[in-house]
Structure 1
Amino acid sequence: MTQAILDQLNGVLAGLKDFQKATVDLVIDKYQTPEHSHRILVADEVGLGKTIVAKGVIAQLLKRHVESNTTTPMRVIYICSNLALADENRQKLALFNGEDAKRWVKPSTFGRLVELALKPKKSEINDEHVIEVCTLTPSTSFTLTAGAGNCRERAILATLLSQTTNLCEVVKPVLELFKTNQITREGRWEDELRYLDQYFDTDPLVVSQLESSLTKPCESRVLRERFSSLQGAALYLANCWNKDLGESDETSHLFYHFRVEIRRLVARCCAGSLQADLFILDEFQRFQSLTDQSSDSEESLIARQVFSDKGKAKKAKSKVLLLSATPFKAMTTINDEDDESSHHEQLHKLLDFLSHNDVDFVSQYELKRNLLHGDMLTLSSGNADFESISDTNARSVEKLLREYIARTERSQISKGFEQLIHSNELCCGSDFSVEEVQGYRAIEALNAVLPKGRGGVSLIEFAKSAPWAISFLNGYAFKELYHRNINNPDVRTLLRKSKSSDQTQAWLSHANIQNYKLNVEQSAPNAKIKVLSKVIFEGSPENLLWSPPCKPYYQFDGVFKGNGSFTKTLLFSSWALVPKALSCLWSYEAERRVIKGKGKRPQYHSGKNASPLLRFEGQSTLNVWHLLYPCKSLAEVSYLDGSLDKVLAQQTMLIQSKLAALKQYESDDKTNSDWYVLAPMLLDRQADEVEHFEQWLEVIESRLNTEGRIKLFAKIKQYFEGSESFSLGKMPDDLAKVLAYSSLANPATCAMRTIQTLWSEGISEFDLVRYSVQFAELTTRLFNHEYAIPIVKRNVRHTLLSGQTASPAWYKVLVYCAHGNYQSMLDEYCHLLATSGSDVHAATSKLEHAMGIRSSSEQVHFWENRTKAKDKCSSSMRCHFAVPLGNQKLNDDSGLKRVVSVRDAFNSPFRPFVLSSTSIGQEGLDFHWYCRRVVHWNLPNNPIDIEQREGRVNRYKSLVVRQRIAENYTPDFGNKADVWEQLFAQAANDDANKTSDLEPYWFTPNGKAQIERIVPTYPMSKEVAKYAEVKKILVLYRLAFGQPRQQELLESFTACDIESEEFNRVKDSLIIDLAPLNAI
């Protein structure tokens, strides 16, 4: 067993890139040094895989643990900001999967600190368990200033309290008073208490500590004013409970504070005994109080107990691994210096924690840092003698910080990264119009007639940020003031003015939307959206249902032609109305462009649901089932380096010869169009794939969920019942060509090929069929989306020679899939899923989220409803082409689920194609798989946030990297291996000059694709000067690492020629480099 585990761990370590391995080795080396604090920060630049480094550290520690023949499992405690993110990252940290995980990984014994007070009565000892990973979150284990915990937690508290000596006389009320009125299901509280009593004992040490703590004074001011001790409070409240039969209005606040205080007390008792071989704090900057040594807050006190040295004489140091790309502010302005949030102050506190309050270390660091600061001032003087500036002090600071901090940055271990970014300052001057001024005047006029309940409203910012701004201002104080004064005579007079007034430029007209009259690119009273609309809609992406794959297997056709370099767009704004406005307007504009041209236009709000494009019931043709059959006889494809027509011609010839085997089903009768659905099945049966066909029948029957589907599918089954000597009439002349399309782009057949390539190991033939059908069903759902139906109907004109409909929907879908290289798209997306840890089941779930995301809606206040009451004035607009990410808090689980759901869709080939957010870049959320364009609608206050925003798309196997690799390498389709595995391997083996494993996975030097940074600006506006300053700071800010008053330091370089070669040589020598790879 030991060798099998070691082999698995060695496999994990072998998968590390060189810079990740260097970091893991450094961390392990420090942990093996007795004098070290055993606290280390891994602060790698965003997107370089800090979680993978943590996984490597766990693997190395577990190797030593296993080799030492220790009988108890190694325990890792992973602390993260919320449970949903913890679960997601725990999967990334997993060293074992499947059966190995069941065999070697101990299930987590607790998820909250309070649960440590329990000991299982019948603890099943599994000698094979070698590791346990438990997760904690600050909100449930450290920040206990509010709330009495969940039901399980309160039951534990009640049980512990009832076992203390002085409260044994009041057990019943003590147990009851922790029930609270939050439990609505009858008997749940009693079930919880019985469960704890049946399966767990309490830890005597925790009960003893709790008992002694009860005699001490209360910490809560509310309790302290009434009681001398918690024990006194408990006895009084127990008697109150008996007397009042529960809580009363007079005592409820006392009960609340008592529960909270007991919860905190028990958490502290448990924290001191919590032991782990490794603590991991992920994105710890979200809960910095845990590492603040000077704070006496509740969470800091508990955290100090958790991380304190354990064991006999407290000599066993707790190993702590901190992970964060932004452990402190990268740069702070003069305004930040007045409080404790400055860069220098945050770094100082962090060094205190990491060094375990090593005063000598911190003093030595400050001395060397100050000397380095002097070197920088010498460099900034403008007339410095470059030769006189030494890097000695920089290297001294570097050596000290390397004791506790490892930070890998792309630019420090691989050259040429700057060429990946193309900065495009879009000047909006030529698109500026008088309507934009009128829109601002309208907002100003409305503000003038409103009572001045609130001041300081940046009206001009509203007008600059979004067109028809008043329609999208829901939630702003200005709009709330408007709603409260809707019956004000002055307001009503202003809003009754004719359509020619300025007001119509500040409100969106429902009539223009309803009839698709509004052209956003031409008519929006906002220069920014006009300019960006030209960029967003270049190449007509409104007709695309997925991003064109980076490596098409043949030339694109149809609506995909000319869109090979397509990218999604990630847009950041400082104003909450912008994501909503842009998402509504660009999604509307996408719809308008799809339906423009001849024919009657539908209405935007038609009140009717569109009929599905593909129907598998009713009077539908049987041929629609063609899309769900994974045909083995058509799975062989030889891709030519040429056009779709050439590949089709070759496949048609190949299939024509195969169709000779189906002559027995042909007769002189009229052609039956069922040939199109039955031919693939008959070909498989003729090729001894009867079992495959029957497995398909079984899978489909298990998924028939409506009477209509059952009836329609029964017609297919009837053909194959009995002797099978049926006749279908003359074979259609275009059957071979239709099957050629099917061999290239049938969703089920494509899915079967993809699954066989990526997940063949351990998957049965039946599961292969089952997942292939699921993939195909999801694809049919994609084509049934309301926005997809007109795209297919209007852009695919191909016809059949047989059947009641010349151009049936199922055939249009097949042709559309062929035009868009569906197979290549699916292979590429599933490669990304597979190599990020998804098995076929998880990949299916991701596909379901991505393909299944429907139009969301946003509330819009139209001009026609301007005088209606607040609850009657809003209408909805659809968001699908573009969506807002929203402003959800990531420490709120419901908010996180919404963010992750939208992220998964955006990080897939499917819609949305534009994602807008007000956040500077949610840590842990990636948007890089299909996006290489970042729009800074507003420049952030802190210039470094530009890098944080762009770091969302500049990551492992990003779109820009894949497009560059696809441009320079070609796979061997003949060996049936993963196309992208081949391409990355070719790129990795090709560059003899690479300096690290960042190439080619994070960066490849050759290729035209770049990350587009777009900054739309008005001429002569303050943003023009601000952007020039931002670009300069981005060049210099690394110089100011660790230094106080960073803004002043960087401003001192104003007179320097920062372009000169000599200046940059010295500047680079003074920059602190903490990359472990460079220290080897």
Structure 2
Amino acid sequence: MRFASGILTFFKAPDFSHASIIFLMRLRSAVASSPSVSATVIEGTLRQVIARTERVSETEQRDAMIRDVDVPISVEPADLIEARAVAHIAAAADAPGTVEYWKSAPYLLSFLRDYKLGQRLDHLKDAPSEALTNAIRAAKSAQINIEDVENYRPVPENNGRMRALKTIAFQDDMAKRLWMPPSLPYFGPRVSASKLLVFSQWAMVPDAIAALLSYDSERAMGMNGLNHRYSDAFRKQSQPLSFRRTKSRLTGLRALPLVIPSPTLAAAADPLEIFRSRAPLPDAAAMRAQVRARVKDHAHSILGRLRAVQRGGVTGRHFTGTRENEVKDPDADRITNWDWACAASLDVAHAPYQSWLARGRLLSDIIRDDGQESWHDHVSALRDAANADHLIGQPDNDSLLDHLTDLALGSPATCALRALHRIAPDLGYDDPAILNAAARIGMAFRGLFNQPESQALLRSASDEVYWQSVLDHCASHDLQSVMDEYVHILVEAEGLLDAAPTQAVGSIAAVIDDALSLKPAQIEIKQYRIKRGQIDIQPAIRMRGRFATRLLQGGQEDGVVQRTETVRTAFNSPFRPFVLASTSVGQEGLDFHPYCHRIVHWNLPSNPVDLEQREGRVHRYKNHAVRLNLASRYAHTLHRPGPIADPWQNLFQTAHRQAERPGDLEPFWLLDGDVCIERYALSLPYSREATLLGWLKRSVALYRLAFGQPRQDDLLSFLDGIDTADDAIDLRDLQISLRPEAKG
């Protein structure tokens, strides 16, 4: 009892530091003399002042929802050839051994940072020895072949860890995706894909991961089929979705429905309501059929306003000519406006929408000179066409229905409008604030689909004109469900639960704009060559990191500043990057859990605390694994009749009411199911790290037992040295549980 009273003194004493010393001394003495009795005393006393629930005890398998996944790591002959080449260079340069470098990344010379070997080569470059020049000449395998990159030829990984990482990162067809599959698909099977968070001790590893995985992703998306070199891909990129004026012609009229939301179509054909009202739909075609049926009446109302293009064109709001079905104008496609104005012609019946469109200065605060120079002219053209007596063009009924279906299901702006309305139901679909927010998101998607990789992907998969390919891609890849999930996450992530609805939708739109606007990392690739007896060290090329990127100390990129917060925002979105590689800078204080339940230890940390810190980055509130399990277990509850605003809020509320354990860990932090936090340790066979993971996991178990205790290393050492057979001690008796007792 004297010890127990000391605990309370520890927490209540005015001189906290003095009291803590006395308490810690008594604690160590008590544990050493009678561990199991002391645990009971400590537990009973601390419960008076502390409540703490350990995750391990809250999962059925007592695994805290963490699962080890074994991935075979191979060592190939090409790996050893590169290792030998690098070793010869290091020996000739009198540099330290390079075994750890070689194990960590391929193409060591290409990604060589300010390591000792790099410093030595820079020091010796003007007067290298013959042995060093010969070693560099022979080390072609240790450098990326620049011509291979420029011509989009395959670049071998030559590293067991990199090969394994590529296998993990590219599963579920992720190399060719523009966004993550939704956790709650409104049609088709669920895909439990995940982003990857990679931790390494070596600063060159994030460079290599970002460059090589992104390069292979570009090839998978079809960039290798284009007639330009790698370095020219962005300099010569076109912008098919642009709002410019060329020779008095507005170039982006048909892209307007991607950016301007349609309140009418948003309300008429909501994929969520279709999902709730029917048995699971097998694929996108089934969803399209349901949407098509719901927009049929709107198509009928549009048909009565259509007029064919005729010689003589259009004068003001009146169609001129005599034969309605005759198309004779050679520039008929330029005059036709039914495809880009039909949705707006329905929406102008809403007075708030009409007023919003009539202002004519939409998105003035974010318009940039990158293909948006004549944006306001396009908006004015849309306003005039939507308010005209007739729409120009005469598609057949099926074509019109298909087009309205594409717009309702695939317009990024209209999908954003529904998602924002779910978290701000007090704002009507035609409220100017929510229309502005949805249009801003639509404009951000324009940037996504203007990226060279996106263009290569969509154009290789379809013969349609590009804006139609965009609509089809969004509809086929369940963009509505993706946006509903993402917006739900952002409400809490951005602290908007108590914000006014107009502020909430505006803030969310700004975050999504930021996430979609992240520029690719620029990774400088060095090249070491022998010229006239000297070592010529030059930056040979900059490789892009969009599929994968890196998190650097201070966020300083080579030539491009990527703030840590900007990278975090993009990684915590459903959009690219899908892989984030970091050193210790990312293992504390930053959360990366919204779309990542796979963590990769490129190198294992040396102590259990760092292991816990790393994995804690993805094991957070409403993490990705939790949401996947939540959707799997409770999606059927959404099929009940009655209105639902935010489906994810409804799912979490239902799961919380049915939770098997008291408290709030379930379902917000933990939820049993098929998906867990997946831990990958990429250790080479027969290396020291192959046995390190077992020690770390044992240490973590003891660390949890010794939660919050002072001198944790001492206590761990003491517990690790206990012979439970000889001392008749059950370590379970030492566990301190401060879980709040159930009420009643």
What interval of TM-score do these two structures reach, taking the shorter chain for normalisation?
Answer: 0.7 to 0.9
1:442 equivalent in alignment to 2:85 = yes
Counterpart secondary structure, 2:580:
strand
How far does residue 822 in structure 1 lie from its aligned partner after superposition? 0.8
In the aligned structure 2, how far is the partner of 1:1079 from the partner of 1:682?
59
> 2:345: which partner in 1?
682
Cα distance change on mapping 1:727 and 1:790 into 2, 3 Å: closer
1:1001 equivalent in alignment to 2:642 = no
In the aligned structure 2, how far is the partner of 1:491 from the partner of 1:978?
70
Deviations along 1:598-656, one digit per CA (max 9) or x if unpaired, are x5553211273311131222353521112122222212223342122122112223323
> 2:110: which partner in 1?
471
Please tell me whether the aligned partners of residues 888 and 899 of structure 1 are also in contact (alpha carbons under 8 angstroms): yes
Cα distance change on mapping 1:414 and 1:497 into 2, 3 Å: closer
> 1:988: which partner in 2?
656
Task: Tell me how many residue pairs correspond in the alignment.
Answer: 676
Letter in 2 for 1:543: K
Cα distance change on mapping 1:913 and 1:998 into 2, 3 Å: same
In the aligned structure 2, how far is the partner of 1:858 from the partner of 1:930?
25
In the aligned structure 2, how far is the partner of 1:363 from the partner of 1:701?
67
How far does residue 1015 in structure 1 lie from its aligned partner after superposition? 0.8
How far does residue 755 in structure 1 lie from its aligned partner after superposition? 1.7
How far does residue 998 in structure 1 lie from its aligned partner after superposition? 0.6
In the aligned structure 2, how far is the partner of 1:808 from the partner of 1:436?
45
> 1:1071: which partner in 2?
735
1:574 corresponds, among 173, 188, 201, to 201
Deviations along 1:46-83, one digit per CA (max 9) or x if unpaired, are xxxxxxxxxxxxxxxxxxxxxxxxxxxxxxxxxxxxxx
In the aligned structure 2, how far is the partner of 1:483 from the partner of 1:772?
53
In the aligned structure 1, how far is the partner of 2:486 from the partner of 2:698?
38
> 2:55: which partner in 1?
410
Letter in 2 for 1:650: Q
How far does residue 914 in structure 1 lie from its aligned partner after superposition? 0.4
Counterpart secondary structure, 2:651:
helix
> 1:823: which partner in 2?
480
How far does residue 872 in structure 1 lie from its aligned partner after superposition? 3.7
In the aligned structure 1, how far is the partner of 2:555 from the partner of 2:518?
21
Letter in 1 for 2:71: L
Deviations along 1:663-707, one digit per CA (max 9) or x if unpaired, are 13334233864211121122234xx32441341342555636655
1:648 equivalent in alignment to 2:309 = no
1:810 corresponds, among 460, 463, 467, to 467
> 1:626: which partner in 2?
257
How far does residue 482 in structure 1 lie from its aligned partner after superposition? 0.5
> 2:69: which partner in 1?
424
In the aligned structure 2, how far is the partner of 1:656 from the partner of 1:1076?
57
> 1:159: which partner in 2?
none
> 1:843: which partner in 2?
508
How do 1:364-383 residues align onto structure 2 when only pairs under 5 Å count? Answer: 365-375=24-34
Cα distance change on mapping 1:368 and 1:873 into 2, 3 Å: closer
How far does residue 401 in structure 1 lie from its aligned partner after superposition? 5.2
Structure 1, unaligned runs of 5 or more? 1-32, 40-316, 318-352, 377-390, 557-562, 798-806
1:481 equivalent in alignment to 2:120 = yes
Counterpart secondary structure, 1:586:
helix
Bigger mean CA deviation after superposition, 401-410 or 673-682: 401-410
In the aligned structure 2, how far is the partner of 1:956 from the partner of 1:698?
42
In the aligned structure 1, how far is the partner of 2:143 from the partner of 2:403?
51
Please tell me whether the aligned partners of residues 486 and 492 of structure 1 are also in contact (alpha carbons under 8 angstroms): no
How do 1:203-282 residues align onto structure 2 when only pairs under 5 Å count? Answer: none
Please tell me whether the aligned partners of residues 526 and 540 of structure 2 are also in contact (alpha carbons under 8 angstroms): yes
> 1:545: which partner in 2?
178
1:490 equivalent in alignment to 2:126 = no
Counterpart secondary structure, 1:840:
helix
Letter in 2 for 1:554: F
1:744 equivalent in alignment to 2:409 = yes
2:714 corresponds, among 1045, 1049, 1067, to 1045
How far does residue 661 in structure 1 lie from its aligned partner after superposition? 1.7
> 1:554: which partner in 2?
187
How do 1:667-816 residues align onto structure 2 when only pairs under 5 Å count? Answer: 667-670=324-327, 673-685=336-348, 688-698=349-359, 701=362, 703=364, 707-719=373-385, 724-725=389-390, 727-731=392-396, 733-761=398-426, 765-797=431-463, 807-816=464-473
Deviations along 1:362-397, one digit per CA (max 9) or x if unpaired, are 435523432322445xxxxxxxxxxxxxx3211233
Deviations along 1:752-806, one digit per CA (max 9) or x if unpaired, are 2122221244788111221121111111112112332212222344xxxxxxxxx
In the aligned structure 2, how far is the partner of 1:1057 from the partner of 1:997?
41
How far does residue 917 in structure 1 lie from its aligned partner after superposition? 0.8
> 1:49: which partner in 2?
none
1:504 corresponds, among 119, 140, 144, to 140
Counterpart secondary structure, 1:357:
helix
> 1:222: which partner in 2?
none
1:536 corresponds, among 148, 164, 169, to 169
2:298 corresponds, among 645, 648, 658, to 658
2:544 corresponds, among 857, 870, 878, to 878
Please tell me whether the aligned partners of residues 599 and 679 of structure 2 are also in contact (alpha carbons under 8 angstroms): yes
Structure 2, unaligned runs of 5 or more? 1-7, 308-323, 497-503
In the aligned structure 2, how far is the partner of 1:934 from the partner of 1:1049?
31
Identity of aligned residues (%): 27
In the aligned structure 2, how far is the partner of 1:606 from the partner of 1:942?
45
> 1:910: which partner in 2?
575
Deviations along 1:493-530, one digit per CA (max 9) or x if unpaired, are 635876xx3x12211111121112224xxx32211111
Cα distance change on mapping 1:417 and 1:1003 into 2, 3 Å: farther
Alpha carbon RMSD of aligned pairs, Å?
A: 3.3
In the aligned structure 2, how far is the partner of 1:392 from the partner of 1:413?
25
In the aligned structure 2, how far is the partner of 1:745 from the partner of 1:842?
23
Counterpart secondary structure, 1:964:
helix
Please tell me whether the aligned partners of residues 621 and 668 of structure 2 are also in contact (alpha carbons under 8 angstroms): yes
How far does residue 532 in structure 1 lie from its aligned partner after superposition? 1.8
Please tell me whether the aligned partners of residues 668 and 730 of structure 1 are also in contact (alpha carbons under 8 angstroms): no
Please tell me whether the aligned partners of residues 180 and 574 of structure 2 are also in contact (alpha carbons under 8 angstroms): yes
Deviations along 1:960-996, one digit per CA (max 9) or x if unpaired, are 00000111122248614101011112212223x3232
Cα distance change on mapping 1:824 and 1:364 into 2, 3 Å: closer
Please tell me whether the aligned partners of residues 405 and 1074 of structure 1 are also in contact (alpha carbons under 8 angstroms): yes
In the aligned structure 2, how far is the partner of 1:730 from the partner of 1:1048?
79
In the aligned structure 2, how far is the partner of 1:1057 from the partner of 1:845?
63
Q: Higher relative contact order at CA 8 Å, sep ≥6: structure 1 or structure 2? A: 2
Cα distance change on mapping 1:913 and 1:610 into 2, 3 Å: same
How far does residue 416 in structure 1 lie from its aligned partner after superposition? 4.0
Please tell me whether the aligned partners of residues 969 and 987 of structure 1 are also in contact (alpha carbons under 8 angstroms): yes
Letter in 1 for 2:106: P
How far does residue 423 in structure 1 lie from its aligned partner after superposition? 0.4
How far does residue 952 in structure 1 lie from its aligned partner after superposition? 0.6
1:1034 equivalent in alignment to 2:693 = no
Please tell me whether the aligned partners of residues 699 and 770 of structure 1 are also in contact (alpha carbons under 8 angstroms): no
Please tell me whether the aligned partners of residues 182 and 485 of structure 2 are also in contact (alpha carbons under 8 angstroms): yes
In the aligned structure 1, how far is the partner of 2:570 from the partner of 2:488?
16
Counterpart secondary structure, 1:873:
strand
How far does residue 711 in structure 1 lie from its aligned partner after superposition? 4.2
Deviations along 1:184-235, one digit per CA (max 9) or x if unpaired, are xxxxxxxxxxxxxxxxxxxxxxxxxxxxxxxxxxxxxxxxxxxxxxxxxxxx
In the aligned structure 2, how far is the partner of 1:711 from the partner of 1:834?
34
In the aligned structure 2, how far is the partner of 1:407 from the partner of 1:986?
25
How far does residue 492 in structure 1 lie from its aligned partner after superposition? 8.0
Letter in 2 for 1:789: Q
How far does residue 889 in structure 1 lie from its aligned partner after superposition? 8.8
Counterpart secondary structure, 1:427:
coil
How do 1:289-308 residues align onto structure 2 when only pairs under 5 Å count? Answer: none
How far does residue 1054 in structure 1 lie from its aligned partner after superposition? 7.0
Counterpart secondary structure, 1:545:
coil
